[in-house]
Every structure is written in C-alpha cells, then in structure tokens.
Amino acid sequence: MTHSASAAPSSAAASTPFSDPAPNPDCEHVDVLIVGAGISGIGAAYHLTTQCPGTRFVVLEAQDGFGGTWRTHRYPGIRSDSDLYTFGYRFKPWTGKPIATAAEIRDYLGEVIAEHDLARHIRYRHRIVSASWSSEDACWTIEALQGDGGETVRFTASFLWMCQGYYRHSEGYTPEWPGMAEFKGRIVHPQTWPDDLDVAGKRVIVIGSGATAATLVPSIAPKAEHVTVLQRSPTYFIPGRNKIEIADTLRELGISEDWIHEIVRRKILFDQATFTRRSMSEPEVVKQELLAGVRAHLGPDADLDPHFTPSYRPWRQRIAFVPDGDLFRAIASGKASVVTDEIDRFTEQGIRLKSGGTLEADIVVTATGFNLNVLGDIAFSIDGKPLNFAETVTYRGMMFTGVPNMAWVFGYFRASWTLRADLVADFVCRLLSHMKQTGHRSVVPALRPEDRDMALLPWIDPENFNPGYLMRGMHLLPKRGDKPEWQHSQDYWTEKDQFPAIDLDDPAFVYSS
C-alpha cells in the first residue's frame, strides 16, 4: 500500500518506529544507521536519544575515533573558521573563545558523547562500502569493512542518516602541475599533514589563500625561515578579536552559561544575517569595510591591490574569520609574504611563475581544497539498480527523489554547519515519529503533479556561491528545482522557521506501509 496521506496507527506500529525485517543471523538490525561520528553524526545521535527515545541506532565511523574533520585535519594551527557559539550545538553551551582549536572542538564533542552515553552506539574503524535498499523488506543492507584486516560486517537499517560530510577524508585536492616530480623538496597537502614534517628554518610556499592557508601560515611562520602565500586570486577575510565582549560581561554578572550561550548565539546570528543582507544590497560598501579591517593590521599606507582585493563581491565564497588578525600580523612582521600569480611549473628548487619570476622553497604546501565526495564513496543501489545521485532532485537539501528512508546533512556556507545539522535532526526525528504513529515503513520524496514541469538547475547557483570544490564537483550533486521545497536555500534565517512547519502529509512525501 503506497500513498501520501496519513493512515491510522496500529498498536503494533506504535511500539517501535519500524517493523523488523526477517531475522538474519549475519546482520545486526537497527532502526537508524548514522554514517559518521563527526559533529553532524554525534548531534544526530543526541537528537535520536532525546527526541526518539527507544530508537535502536548505531553510528559507523571509518576513522579510529570521533571528530570527523577535526580528526582528519592535523596541520599546525588547525582551528574553526566559524564561531563556536553557533558552530557548537544549541543544546551544549560553549564556554571558551569563539574561534577554537581542533583539540578544543574534539574535547567538546567528547563531552557530548560522555554526558549522553553515546559511546555505546559508535563503532569505529567501520568503513562502509555499499548500501542497498530493498522495497520488499523496507530496509537498507549496509556492508562495511572493519579494522585493519578489512573483515566484512553487515547491518540492516530501516533508516539511513548520512552525516559523513561532503569531502573525501582520505585525500585532499592537489592540481597536477608540470615538473612536480622534479622538485627536490617535499610537497604536502594539509589534509594529510606528515607527523615528521619540520618547518624550522625552512622556506615554505603555501599555495592557496582560503581558510586553511589563513590558519596554517601564522602558525608556522615564527619557526620557518620564511613563508610565501602563493595565490591565484585574493580572498576576503574578517579580522577581529577572538572574544565576544557580551559573553564576558554576562559571565561577570553571574548569568548562567545556558543563558549566555543562547543570548550570544542570537546576537551572532542577528549580526550574520545583517552582514549577509548587506553583502547583497551594498557589496561595495561591505568590500571597503573588509579591506579596512586588513589595512588596520598591515598599516594605513598598505597597498591592498592586488594581494588583498578580490575581484568578486563579498560572500560569493566563504569568508573566514582571522582571530586577532594573526595572518596579517605575520605578513606585517616580514615572516610571511603574499605573491599573486599563477604557476607555470615546478622546478628542482621551487616554482616558476607565469609572470617569469621564481620562488624557491624547501617545502610546498598545497592548501588547494577538497575533493567533493557527496555519498562517502559508498556504492548505493535501490532495488538492485545503482543509484546515480546526480539524477535525483533534492528535497530541501536533505532528502532526494527516488531514495527511500534516507536523510543527508549538508550545512551552510554563510553560517555555521551545525545550525543546519540541528534543523535536519529535528526534521528527521519528527519524520520518524510520524511514521511510527501512522504505521508507515518507508518514505520517499517525489515530485508532485505541479512540479513535473519545474525547471531543474544545478545544486547551487554559481552566481550566488562558487568555491572551487563545488564547481569541480557540481556534476556529482543532485539537481535543485526553482521552488523552495526542491532546493537547499543556504538561508538559515528562513529555514529555521520553514523546517518546523514542513507538512509531513504533503504529497511530496510518498509513504508505504
């Protein structure tokens, strides 16, 4: 029986979110299988525990510990580029500095796991290789390789919650330049930073000018002989103090951390909404304000063109916060410098530029971005047919046409990732409860009759947001429609009101019982 309207719940359906498939001694069955033990997966586990008590779930994590991106990346100085009052969970007050180190974020996640007894649900060193949906059984069968030996283990799950992020953790993106094999020094990517790499007294070139470079350069500049940032084009940054005065004031007044967390979150979100709106309505004014922040650290007479003046309007790519202006202080000190040019080729001693100049180096760091990986290198199939994710249409950036019983967490570009992870978690828990109450075993998004002739567009408008990793991987992502239901709007300030109001009996949700 397949339909879109609610059915009367039965007593059997009320006892558990889903019915169990036929017993299989080779599989462990759970109601929900969460992929990834990073900030999204840990949040999903918390919300299941608190909003859907009694739900049987497991978290599978490929790495040997929790943390996701904060475990993968181990380069010097690794820190958040969003404030932890909004990057942290809404349910767990953040009490440290707004920009935090990876170690501090891992400690925070560890506290969430311990405080809510989540460790017993997490299986580390489980790399998922395939996930197949059976409409007959109304469940997913997941195969994973466990441990170093790669023993295959199987799970069945009624619902799959994809919290693995959006990039390949095993390797970063490094372009292929001529002559790389000739270079006598070391070439490293920040995502796979070697434990034995010593920059002391070395000439270092960092290729790229995004948040990774802005984090890495001030960390290694004091030890290195010199660090050169080699960029093809400049990036916008927001330099500022790594503190929030209202939070310190409220603490002096003895206000509880729960209240401080909520008040500061609301203030930051209000300020972010204003900044985003102004970036669209008065981009030149915002551009000059951002450049003034850079000039404040480099000196009033600093020439910001060409090294610090991007050609695009603010917020077309992500803007990283630079705490206490440390990147620009490293440049002002002479320990670091910026070159804006393109690479012609590598040489034995360094890099030859297209302008004809050369840069000598002992170490080259390719801070050149991610490899987009939308489904975690997992082979998906639906009733025996391989799933081509790019042929689906997204439902609000978290579910996909033709893909039953699955949700995906993809955060925000202009706000903290975790804000959306919390919103998606609320929706998934409400959906699971709805299915429990109505006796439905599966749900799949489908275009409604009024959507059949809707224009299908790329996942995101490149005129709106166009970082390199998205542009390189757009062909891998689902399509979006020109209606709000069928796109990831990237607008937290709208979605925070829209998501709780989603009608679960909308014909866009096709249920089967």
Q: Which amino acid is at 185?
A: G
Q: What is the pLDDT of residue 52?
A: 97
> Domains in the chain, ordered, with CATH?
2-169+372-512 (3.50.50.60), 180-366 (3.50.50.60)
Beta strand pairing status for 394-395 and 399-400? antiparallel
Polymer length of the chain: 513
Mean pLDDT of the chain: 92
| The pLDDT of residue 17 | 55
Instruction: State whether residue 250 is helix, strand or coil.
Output: helix
pLDDT of residue 19: 66
Predicted TM-score (pTM) of the model is: 0.92
Q: Provide the pLDDT for residue 463.
A: 76
* Closest among 96, 92, 87 to 45, alpha carbons compared: 92
| CA proximity to 304, closest of 315, 289, 318, 285 | 289
The confidence score (pLDDT) of residue 470 equals 76
Give, for 139, the enclosing helix (H) or strand (E).
strand 139-146
CA distances from 390 to 63, 214, 411 (A): 27, 33, 19
Spans of the chain below 70 pLDDT: 1-17, 19, 22-23, 466
**Helix pair angle (257-281, 245-252), 10° resolution:** 160
pLDDT of residue 11: 30
pLDDT of residue 270: 94
DSSP 117: T
CA 1, CA 5: separation in Å to the nearest integer? Answer: 11
In this prediction, residue 14 carries a pLDDT of 35
Scanning 303-357, the segments in alpha helix (DSSP H) are: 326-332
Is residue 294 a contact partner of residue 239, using CB atoms and an 8 Å limit?
yes
Q: Please report the pLDDT score of residue 22 as a whole number.
A: 64
Q: What is the pLDDT of residues 60-91, one digit of tens each?
A: 999 999 999 999 999 999 999 889 999 999 99
The three-point CA angle 473-192-362 to 5° equals 110
Q: What are phi and psi of 145, to 5 degrees?
A: -95, 125
| 137-157 pLDDT, tens digit each | 999 999 999 998 889 999 999
